[in-house]
Structure 1
Amino acid sequence: MKYAIVTGASKGLGEAIAKRLINEKIAVVSVSRTENDRLKKWALEKGVDYKHLSCNLSLEKEVQEVFMEIAHLIFQNDPNELLIFNNAGVIEPIHTVGNLDQTPIMRNIQINLIAPIYITNLFLGKAQQTDTKVQVINITSGAAVRPIEGWSIYCSSKAGLNMFTQTAAQEQKELNTHHKIIAFSPGIMDTDMQAQIRSSSEDAFKELEKFKEFKEKNMLRKTDVVADALVNLVLCGDVESGKIYNVNDLLN
Structure 2
Amino acid sequence: MNYAIVTGASKGLGASAALRFISEGIPVITVSRNENTTLKQAAESAGISYTHYSCDLSSAQQVQSVFAQICDEVFVDAENVYVINNAGVIEPIDVAGELDAALVQSNIQVNLTAPILISNLLLQKAKNTDSSVVIANVTSGAGERPIQGWSIYCSTKAAVNMFTMTAGLELENSGSSSKVIAFSPGLMDTDMQVTIRSSSEEAFADVDTFRNYKESGNLRSPDTVAGALVKLVLAENLENGKVYKVNDLL
Aligned residue number for residue 146 of structure 2: 147
Correspondence for 2:28: 28
Pairing 1:113–2:112 present: yes
Task: Report the Cα offset of residue 16 of structure 1.
Answer: 0.4
Q: Which residue of 1 aligns with 2:100?
A: 101
Partner of 1:2: 2
Letter in structure 2 aligned against 1:73: E
The answer as to whether partners of 2:132 and 2:177 remain within 8 angstroms in 1 is: yes
Shift of 1:235: 1.4
Question: Which residue number in structure 1 is paired with residue 57 of structure 2?
Answer: 57
2:60 is the alignment partner of 1:38: no
Instruction: After TM superposition, list the pairs within 5 Å mapping 1:194-205 onto structure 2.
Output: 194-205=193-204
Letter paired with 1:151? W
How far apart, in 2, do the equivalents of 1:124 and 1:205 lie?
38
Q: What is the TM-score when the length of structure 2 is the normalising length?
A: 0.99
Structure 2, unmatched stretches of 5+, are none
Displacement after TM superposition at 1:134 (Å): 0.7
Whole-angstrom distance in 2 between the partners of 1:59 and 1:193: 20
Whether the aligned pair in 1 keeps the contact of 2:171 and 2:240 (CA below 8 Å) is no
Q: Which residue of 1 aligns with 2:81?
A: 82
Shift of 1:246: 0.4
Q: Distance in 2 between matches of 1:230 and 1:39?
A: 18
TM superposition shift of 1:236: 2.0
TM-score by length of 1: 0.98
Shift of residue 204, structure 1, vs aligned partner: 0.1
Q: Runs (4+) of structure 1 moved beyond 6 Å?
A: none
Does the 8 A contact of 2:85 with 2:136 survive in 1? Answer: yes
Paired AA for residue 20 in structure 2: R
Query: Per-residue CA shift, 1:57-107, capped at 9, x if unaligned?
Result: 00111111111111101112x111001100000000000000001000000
Greater mean alpha carbon deviation, residues 90-99 or residues 127-136: 127-136
Equivalent residue, structure 2, for 1:169: 168
RMSD, aligned α-carbons: 0.6
Code of the residue aligned with 2:160 in structure 1: it is: L
Once the two structures are TM-superposed, the CA of residue 231 in structure 1 deviates from its matched residue by: 1.0
* Aligned residue identity for 1:107: S
Per-residue deviation at 1:230?
Answer: 1.1
Instruction: State the aligned residue count.
Output: 250
Q: 1:156 maps to which residue?
A: 155
Shift of 1:218: 0.7
Q: What amino acid sits opposite 1:4 in the alignment?
A: A
1:193 maps to: 192
Q: Counterpart of 1:230 in 2: which secondary structure?
A: helix
Find the aligned partners of 2:232 and 2:143 in 1 and give their Cα distance: 21
Distance 1:80 1:33 in 2: 28
1:154 counterpart letter in structure 2? Y
> Aligned partners of 1:19, 1:236: CA distance in 2, in Å?
18
Q: Which piece of structure 1 moves more, 225-234 or 191-200?
A: 225-234
Question: Unpaired runs of 5+ in structure 1?
Answer: none
Deviations 1:90-134 (A, max 9, x none): 000000000001000000000000000000000111111112111
Percent identical pairs in the alignment equals 55
Question: Distance between the aligned counterparts of 1:233 and 1:63, measured in 2?
Answer: 26
Task: Indicate the SS of the match to 1:129.
Answer: helix
Q: Distance in 2 between matches of 1:61 and 1:242?
A: 27
Task: Find the aligned partners of 2:123 and 2:231 in 1 and give their Cα distance.
Answer: 23
**Aligned position for 2:242:** 243
The equivalent of 1:228 in structure 2 is 227
Q: How far does the alpha carbon of each residue in 1:217-250 deviate from its partner, in whole angstroms, 9 at most, with x for none? A: 0110000000001111111211111110000011
For the residue of structure 1 that corresponds to 2:35, the secondary structure is: coil
Output the amino acid matched with 1:111.
V
